[in-house]
Amino acid sequence: MAAFGYRLRPRLAAEAGVATSDPSGILVRMPERVLTVSPERLETWLAGFARRHGATTHRAGPDAVVVEAADGAVASCAVPFPPLRPDDAAPYGGLLEHARRDRTVGVLLVRRGGYAAGVFAGATLVTSKVGSRHVQGRTAAGGQSQQRFARRREKQAREAFEAAADVASRVLLPHAAELDAVVTGGDRAAVDHVLADRRLTALAQLRDRSAGLAHLAVPDPKRAVLEATPATFRAIRITLAEPDITP
């Protein structure tokens, strides 16, 4: 369901002879939608926002840059890899430069039976390893058969998580000192189980310091899935509210 805000459109209020602070003025219904924009397209997107809605002002903070246009439209840009150190002398408080900066990012994807680990320099995959282990699905059997099945399934899952931890140790740990962030995806409980391995303490700490980054929703972690993750973790999430006159 779309979220809605209400805002007075200054130009229309002026034409109607109503002060923008007057609650009886022209209210504008503002449905919000969320979109994502790559760092390379962000400047062009913001320029188009200004062309459509008029001159803009912005407020820059560590976690978001809010851009407001003359007609009341608002684009709230979540800062990728927060925090942003706002620079009043730079366009949009330095958001463009911050978003375009190449970072070294470790990615760990885990689902029951499948896992992938990789190191990215910007959007380029530098090193990676993908693997899988068989984990049986759930069964409707009951009694002792169900208990034996559950024990076997738990053993298979544990072995799969251990294999994922081995891969993370080989692929990500050698780069831990140079990683700017660790991004995770897949099944949250499975990721937590893998990062609980004592060998991966440094990666778990990096993941915790990267709390401002979204956990990625991914299918089974194949190589193509891993290679596609920069399109998500590098993207700028924009909450857009564009005014429309309420009937």
Local confidence pLDDT in tens for the 247 residues of the chain: 345 444 444 443 343 333 343 344 454 556 799 999 999 999 999 999 999 999 999 999 999 999 999 999 999 999 999 999 999 999 999 999 999 999 999 999 999 879 999 999 999 999 999 998 755 555 555 555 666 666 666 777 788 899 999 999 999 999 999 999 999 999 999 999 999 999 999 999 999 998 888 999 999 999 999 999 999 999 999 999 998 755 5
> For position 132, what pLDDT does the model report?
86
Residues 228, 111 share a domain: yes
Query: Is 125 found in the same domain as 219?
Result: yes
SS (H, E, C) 142-203: CHHHHHHHHHHHHHHHHHHHHHHHHHHHHHCHHHHHHCCEEEEEECHHHHHHHHCCHHHHHH
Neighbours of 142 (CB within 10 A): 8
28 and 74 inside one domain: yes
Question: Which of helix, strand or coil describes residue 123?
Answer: coil
CATH number for the domain that contains residue 140? 3.30.420.60
The answer to whether residues 110 and 226 belong to one domain is yes
Q: Could you tell me if 161 and 183 lie in one domain? A: yes
Question: Do 127 and 76 belong together in one domain?
Answer: no
Q: Within this chain, do residues 118 and 184 fall inside the same structural domain, yes or no?
A: yes
Host domain of residue 111: 104-233
> Are 91 and 159 within one domain?
no
Give the number of domains in the chain: 2
Task: Give residue for tokens 């891993």.
Answer: 226
Rounded CA-CA distance 30/14 in Å is 19
Selection from 80, 54, 162 nearest residue 115 by Cα: 162
**Within this chain, do residues 195 and 209 fall inside the same structural domain, yes or no?**
yes
If asked whether residues 88 and 72 sit together in one domain, one would say yes
Token reading at 7: 């805002």
Residues 52 and 136 in one domain: no
Token couple for 226: 């891993």
